[in-house]
Each structure stands twice: as C-alpha cells, then as structure tokens.
C-alpha cells in the first residue's frame, strides 16, 4: 500500500511540475518586451499562497507521511516566487504597488497560520487547522477553470483550453486524489477529487468541441461580455479580442488550477 501511494505521489510531483512550468511562454514574452502588458500577476500570488499552505501541511510535524506534498509545493513556491518577482520588475507603477501589496497579504496569511499552528496548537488540532487552510485555498481556486469551461461552451471553441494542459490537470488531480485516498487523508482527497472531476469535464469538452471552429463573432462577444468576470481571475485581454495573447492567457487560466490539485 505504501509503495503504491509513493508511486502516485511521484506521478503527482511530475505532473504538477509540468503545470508549474506551463506559464514560461508568457514570462518569456514579458521579459522580451520588458512589459507585463495586459497580463496580471494576481493568480501567481494566490498560487504561491496555496503552495505555501500545502507545503506547510505536508511537513512531518504537521501531517505524517506526506513529505511528497511538501517537496512539490516547496518547488512551486520557488517557481511562483520567480514569476511574482518578474511581475514586480516589469509591471507599471500602479500594478507593481498592487502586486507588492498582495505579496505582503500572502506572506501575512501564511505566517499567521504557521505561527498559530506552531505556538497555539498541537497534534490533531494542528493538522486540522493546516489541512483545512490548504484544502479551502485549493477549492477556492477552481473558479478560474470553471470560467474557461463556460467560455468553451459558449463559443464552441477550445482555443482557451489547450488539450495538453487539460490532460495534465486531470492526471495531476487523479494522482493526488488516489494518493490522498490511500493515505486516508481527506484534506488531500477532497480537493483533488474535485480537481479530477474538473479535469475530466475539461477533456470531455475538448472531445466535443475539438473539431469545432466555433463562431468567431460569438467568441469575440463572449470574451468581451465576460471581461468583468475574467478580469477577476485576471487572465483575459481587456478589450475581449481573440489573439495570440488571449491564447497565452487561456493557458494561464488553466495554470491557476494547478496547485489546487497538489
């Protein structure tokens, strides 16, 4: 049983690492243009918070036998930290202030939970607090891919939902779901069970609409009509048009779901 669980943990690490690195194309563009353009760094701050909480939960003195959860999420903290730093360097002044403020909030939330768990709680109470914090943060991040899925249905186009990323979202969620089940860990199994279902739905949508070119006018209008909601997840072009930048932001929409499945 432990061997099987370890194997699924390794698979989860591998698929999650792929997903963590998926926005590199976006950041290559930002560095080359020396501008963050219409991209937003908010999801990378929230993803880093999720990584911090999950990495903390996986430590042996918080929850036993979950070290593989810590290894991949510690890696995620480093990667997301690099993304955030790039945004801080190349973002315009107002965005830079917003990003820095959000980074302070992320650090404050994690520090509070970590200190309370260390100084005020022990044993099962400590594990309960850290597990709930990590699970709630993970589940909350599912809003972004749900918005993308709705856009796919509305436009009848999978342009905003690349197949490879959707596949790895499913594989990552499934790996950690089974890892959590084998370890009888609800804090891992529940959010990743949601991730597995979400990934499966993405693949089903892709199978339905993969050969559909959709309606370009409807796609543009849908992107424009949903601009307010998509702005909340900060991954769409402000003018709602369909272009290469939108495709990159579609990739980033999936990225926001990454750590919710780790």
- Is the pTM higher than 0.85? The answer reads no
pLDDT exceeds cutoff 70 at 248:
no
Task: Give pLDDT, residue 247.
Answer: 47
Determine the 3-state secondary structure of 211 from DSSP: coil
Report the percent of the chain where pLDDT is more than 70. Answer: 79
Report residue 258's pLDDT band, with 50, 70 and 90 as the boundaries: very low
Q: What is the DSSP string of 7-41?
A: HHHHHHHHHHHHHHHTTHHHHHHHHHHTS-TT--S
CB 68, CB 172: distance < 8 Å: no
What value does the mean pLDDT take over residues 167-176?
90
What pLDDT was estimated at residue 40? 80
Domain count of the chain? Answer: 1
pLDDT value, residue 168: 87
State residue 249's pLDDT score. Answer: 52
Question: pLDDT tens-digit profile of 191-210?
Answer: 999 888 888 998 999 999 88
Per the structure, the complete domain to which residue 211 belongs is given by 2-261
Distance (Å, rounded) from C-alpha 120 to C-alpha 106? 21
pLDDT at 61 over 50: yes
Residue 9 has pLDDT above 90, yes or no: yes
């Amino acid at each position: 049983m432990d061997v099987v669980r370890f194997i699924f943990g390794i698979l989860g690490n591998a698929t999650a690492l792929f997903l963590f690195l998926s926005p590199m194309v976006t950041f290559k563009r930002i560095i080359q243009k020396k501008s963050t353009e219409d991209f937003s760094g908010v999801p990378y701050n929230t993803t880093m918070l999720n990584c911090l909480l999950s990495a903390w939960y996986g430590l042996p003195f918080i929850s036993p036998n979950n070290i593989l959860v810590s290894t991949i999420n510690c890696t995620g903290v480093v990667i997301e930290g690099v993304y955030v730093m790039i945004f801080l360097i190349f973002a315009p002044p107002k965005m830079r202030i917003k990003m820095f403020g959000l980074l302070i909030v992320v650090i404050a939330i994690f520090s509070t939970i970590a200190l309370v768990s260390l100084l005020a709680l022990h044993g099962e109470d400590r594990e309960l607090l850290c597990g709930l914090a990590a699970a709630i943060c993970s589940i909350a991040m599912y809003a972004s891919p749900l918005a993308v899925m709705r856009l796919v249905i509305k436009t009848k186009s999978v342009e905003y939902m690349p197949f490879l990323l959707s596949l790895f979202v499913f594989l990552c969620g499934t790996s950690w779901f089974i890892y959590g089940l084998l370890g009888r860990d609800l804090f891992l199994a529940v959010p990743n069970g949601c991730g597995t279902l979400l990934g499966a739905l993405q693949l089903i949508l892709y199978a339905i609409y993969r050969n559909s070119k959709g309606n370009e006018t409807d796609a543009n209008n849908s992107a424009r009509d949903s601009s307010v909601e998509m702005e909340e997840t900060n991954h769409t072009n402000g003018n709602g048009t369909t272009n290469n930048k939108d495709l990159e932001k579609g990739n980033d929409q999936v990225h926001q779901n990454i750590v919710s499945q780790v």
